[in-house]
Structure 1
């Protein structure tokens, strides 16, 4: 007897930080990403787990989307993108930094990240943003390929000057 597999339904929705289900999914997905080697391999701190949704809700520049996967009447949080609005002084317009892109390992390869990035682009355009920015580890080839397919390119003003480098300086060693 052949079994018929129910198709997945993927729904990308804007996160409502004050909604307990959205807040829990946000933390769950970001913690799974943090535990992944590309996210650093360490779980979120207890402080981040407890305060993340509330802190994001206090920032009008922050927005997030979650991809929900539905099959056989059950819905699961499958992917997350967190974004923070910045400002381009050269363009004198907002820009949107795609800060976290995460898809749970069991849902990778289904086009979820592509769908979430499309939603983020629509939200950025609605905000009047001139561009999307993101950082990606140079060893994360699958993410780099995804971002290139989505239209991202290395940042360069003039190729003679080279491409931009992402750098950091921790202000509090407890945050490192």
Structure 2
């Protein structure tokens, strides 16, 4: 029998929520899909406070009883084409023992509720090419690869790392 899963918006000032967020981010960071290395000491010490200072940051937690089961960190952006906000699901993690129980689906549903409340035009996320399970879940939830003009192909998510100054 699957445990009852509660999904709620995180309160970054709540110590239990902060601990759950950090624990789940550590699970994600150590997974090959998150890079395979744990969070840095700096990130562990500052992440929750940094998120709390950003009104555009939204955390969603899933709990099975008091056990952290899943997390989504969403960050508000802006669509210049639609002239409306958008919500990016920046991090999504489900603890291994709670996978395939609908936790990810429920986190995405809550993200959509937040996006609708904010008047967003869309939800966005990125997914690794090799993460077929996540891609299937995202397709089931209504996500599709992004493209403007099919003749130009699909969008790619690129990055440029910036070293810390100081």
TM over 0.5: yes
Q: How does 1:8-157 map to 2 (within 5 A)?
A: 8-70=3-65, 75-157=66-148
SS in 1 for 2:36: coil
Question: Given the two structures, how large is their TM-score scaled by the length of structure 1?
Answer: 0.91
Structure with max Cα Rg? 1
Q: TM-score, normalised by structure 2?
A: 0.97
- 2:157 matched residue in structure 1: 166
CA displacement at 1:173 relative to structure 2: 6.8
Structure 2 unaligned residues grouped into runs of 5+: none
Q: CA RMSD in A?
A: 1.2
> How much does 1:8 deviate?
1.1
* Equivalent pairs, count: 165
Structure 2 CA distance for aligned equivalents of residues 165 and 85 of structure 1: 20
